[in-house]
Each structure stands twice: as structure tokens, then as C-alpha cells.
Amino acid sequence: MADYEFCRVEKDEHLWVVTIARPERMNSLHPPANEELHKVFNDFAADDDAWVAIITGEGERAFCAGNDLRYQAEGHKITVPSSGFAGLTSRHDLLKPVIAAVNGVAMGGGFEIALACDVLIASESARFALPEPRVGLAALAGGLQRLPRQIPLKQAMGMILTGRHVPAEEGKALGFVNEVVPAAELLARARHWATEMMACSPMSLRASKQVAYQNLNEADLARASDNSRYDAVGAMMKSEDMIEGPKAFAEKRRPQWKGR
């Protein structure tokens, strides 16, 4: 595993835990940090033994405070890799599950990272906002697209057009947070969700994720239900896991997934 300056990567069998490590800047991201995370998730996507990832932030104050405005104000040019903020917000072809473990403030781009994940676990102290209009900007790393798709439109617009801060429990009530837990239990709970995912065939998870997201692009239910349109479904149907699952069920044992 490569050494990184602005993040840490822990590999535990099929699980990767990625920690944004700029606590002195509330884990906000500047171009070098974004580039590191781009490389991390490139490696995660390419590694056949990597099935699920968790992304979190160092410390208890912040998951990610978004773009490093101090860095920008110091005269540096802001650039983002092709995969988007934190290497995730524009990575639309990643079929492996990613869990956000939001340990504090998730503002602007930080909230957009969390929205780009498949499951969001929040500590009780977590706060969410898209405050870009308050500094003359807009949430253009996916926040304006994802939030209205994940919660009711009027509720999304209320957040978008005011930049207001939403606490974790309200985020759960709105529907973009899966679970709220005490800060001390956050990573353990995220790992529990990852363990539950890894009890499933990774081929099935990738097929399920591709269908769930791509079918949203189709207004016609019959076309959306045409499973031949989804490459990951075809790969699942041809996989060793497709044989192993029913066999393990019949033999009353845990399946030994291959991920191929």
C-alpha cells in the first residue's frame, strides 16, 4: 500500500477504511489531498480483493469541511481530479459499496462526498450543509444533483437555498442518513454494516448497485427492468459465486465467495 500525506488507508481483508487526515484544516480538501484520494479509490476499484470501503475523517470535529477555502484564499489554484471531490463525487462507474462514517462536520464538498456514498452512518455530533451560496459559490460536485434525488424536493431546496446546517437526527428523518450513533461507536458501526455487506456475494452487490442506480435514468419501467442492459448482472450470472450461493444454502454452510 502506498504512503499518503493527507489520508490513511487501512486494509482489513476485503474491507478498506480510508481516513481523510487534515484535522488542522477540519479535513477540508485541497488539490494534493484530492489527488491522493483519487489514487486511493483507483486502487480500490482495481483490486479484486477489495469489496467494500469506508470513508471517514480524522478526529471528532469534522468528517470533511469541504473545499479548503484558506488554501484558495492564499492564491492557490483549485483543481479537482476527473473522479471528483475526494476521488468519489464523479466516480459514477464504481460498483463496489462505499460507506460514509460521518464523524462531525460535513459541509459543502464534505457533504457531497457523503451523498456520493451508498450508506451514511453519522455520529450524534454530525452536521450537514451545502453552504456554498453563503460564500458566492454553488455545490457543483454533485450536491445539487444528489440531494434532490435522495430526499423530498422541497426539503432539499430548503437546504440548498439557505445553506442551513442540519443535525444528524434531522438528516435521518429527512432520509439521507441511515443511522445515528454515539461518536465512540461510529467506526465500529460502519464496520458492522461493511461486515453485513461482505456476507453477501460481491458479484451480487455490484449487480444490485448498478441496477439500483442506473435504472433511475429510465422513466420506462419495462426498459429499466431489462436486466440484459446491466453488465454487472451478466457478470454475476456467469460467476463462480452464482454456483456457490445455492450450493452453500443446500449444504447448510456459509458460502465461500470468490468475487468472480
Q: What is the pLDDT of residues 135-191, one digit of tens each?
A: 899 999 999 999 999 999 999 999 999 999 999 999 999 999 999 999 999 999 999
The amino acid present at 51, given as its one-letter code, is W
Looking only at the bridges linking them, the beta strands covering 52-57 and 15-20 are parallel
Instruction: Kindly tell me if the per-residue pLDDT of 193 is higher than 60.
Output: yes
Coil, helix or strand at residue 16: strand
pLDDT of residue 173: 98
Distance separating alpha carbons of residues 109 and 129, to the nearest angstrom: 9
Q: Closest by alpha carbon to 147, among 124, 172, 116?
A: 116
Query: How is the chain split among helix, strand and coil, in percent rounded to 5?
Result: 45, 15, 40
Distance separating alpha carbons of residues 42 and 88, to the nearest angstrom: 10
Q: Closest by alpha carbon to 111, among 81, 134, 133, 132?
A: 132
pLDDT of residue 256: 96
Active-site amino acid positions:
112, 132
Task: Provide the residue ranges of all domains of the chain, joining segments of one domain with +.
Answer: 7-198, 202-250
CA atoms within 13 A on the CB side of 226: 7
pLDDT of residue 143: 97
Q: Closest by alpha carbon to 59, among 102, 103, 15, 18?
A: 103
Instruction: Kindly tell me if the per-residue pLDDT of 1 is higher than 80.
Output: no
Q: What is the mean pLDDT of the chain?
A: 96
pLDDT of residue 199: 97
pLDDT of residue 70: 87
pTM of the model: 0.96
| pLDDT confidence tier of residue 2, bands split at 50, 70 and 90 | low
pLDDT of residue 135: 87
Grid cell 431489462 is found at: 226
Q: Quick one: 7-198 is in which CATH superfamily?
A: 2-enoyl-CoA Hydratase; Chain A, domain 1 (3.90.226.10)
- Lowest mean pLDDT, pick from 28-42, 64-78, 167-181, 190-204: 64-78
Q: What percent of the chain has pLDDT over 90?
A: 94
